[in-house]
Structures are given as structure tokens and as C-alpha cells.
Amino acid sequence: MDEEHSYYYHRAEQELELAQRAAGPEATKVHYVLAGYYLNLAFGSSATAPAPDDAVRGFVARASGTDDR
């Protein structure tokens, strides 16, 4: 595994740990989505790795107070 893929694998592990410690179900989901994203980057290619889904963007918007809902 090269250095870049190793980095993404390490980030996936960190996201899984954060998911286990998350305060609520929405934050847990976000961490799992990000972990999957990083695993795709580690074992696939950046061209095939999907962007984090709307759940992540929505969570970030609500947390930052920029959610329009």
C-alpha cells in the first residue's frame, strides 16, 4: 500500500472510532459515510470514490447554522 492509500486507510479507521463515540445517530451515520468514502479512496481510485452523500452535507450545514430548513 503506498503512502496516499495508507493515509486514506488510517482516516477510515479514525472515522470508525469517531462513529463509535458519536453523541447521536445522525453524527454516527456521518462518520460511517466518511469511513466508507476513505475506504473507497484507499482501495479503489479517487475517480470511482463517490462524494459524501447529502446526509453529510446536511449534518455539516445544521452544525454550522447554515441550514436553510
Q: How big is the chain by its Cα radius of gyration, in Å?
A: 13
CA 32 to CA 41: how far, in whole Å?
14
pTM over cut 0.85: no
User: What does the pLDDT look like over 1-48, one tens digit per residue?
Assistant: 689 899 999 999 999 999 999 999 988 988 998 998 899 889 876 555
* pLDDT confidence tier of residue 65, bands split at 50, 70 and 90: low
CA 7 to CA 1: how far, in whole Å?
10
Helix (H) or strand (E) holding 57: helix 54-64
The answer to whether position 69 is within a domain reads: no
Task: Give the three cell numbers for residue 9.
Answer: 486507510
Phi, psi of 20 (to 5 degrees): -70, -25
Domain that holds residue 11: 3-64
The answer to whether position 33 is within a domain reads: yes
The answer to whether position 50 is within a domain reads: yes
Q: How many domains does the chain have?
A: 1
What count of residues does the chain have? 69
